[in-house]
Amino acid sequence: MDIPELDMPAALVEVAQIGFECDWDEETGELRGCDFESYGEFEQPCETAMWFRLWSVHEEFDYTQFRFFGSTAAGDYVGFWLVRPDVDISEQPVVYISSDGDIGLITQNLDDLLWLFANGSGPAEAFEDPGRKTQPNEEIRPIAERYAPGKCRSTAEIVASAQKEFPNLMELVRQMYE
């Protein structure tokens, strides 16, 4: 299968260079920061294929529709879902797939992902509790302002709009197991 090479968007490269801090607050019993590690490049298609073949019962599942670029400490995957034909990767929705098999859309595009990060949310936190109170990430905010000016929204708004636009993602996942 011929898989097109895609370059990592410059904004995500900058985010990866900064990185994220995350620790557990023993007093409050809550996570502080963002549990996410960007790879700095897209996962190799052969790695994605291997992972999907382990996760899905269908050998023929078209894993090429995903380009993963990061993960959480628990092994959850985050990447673009290449669902919009003939559109730049930065305009594709971002999907979160947990190590437990949960899957969901967290943003409609890269612009929203940058603001999600600037809001202090990570992919897992946005998926599990998009309305949770976070500390804004002041290092990521200038990147969001530069690449996605005027598009600041709350994490809850970002996640809700992505899920509203693509309510059929779970059907795709169900097909993987049938």
DSSP state of 7: P
Record the pTM.
0.87
Q: How far is CA 17 from CA 110, 140, 149, 163, 172, in A?
A: 17, 10, 21, 29, 33
Structure confidence by residue, pLDDT tens digits, 97-149: 887 777 888 999 999 999 999 999 999 889 999 998 888 999 999 999 999 99
Q: What is the per-residue pLDDT for 46?
A: 77
Q: Is 140 exposed, middle or buried (0-12, 13-18, 19+ CB in 10 A)?
A: buried
Q: What is the per-residue pLDDT for 28?
A: 75
Mean pLDDT by 10 residues, the chain (178 residues): 71 91 75 80 82 66 81 88 90 89 88 96 91 91 96 96 82 59
Strands of the chain, DSSP E: 22-25, 30-33, 37-38, 66-71, 77-81, 94-97, 103-107
| Residue listed under structure tokens 């594709």 | 92
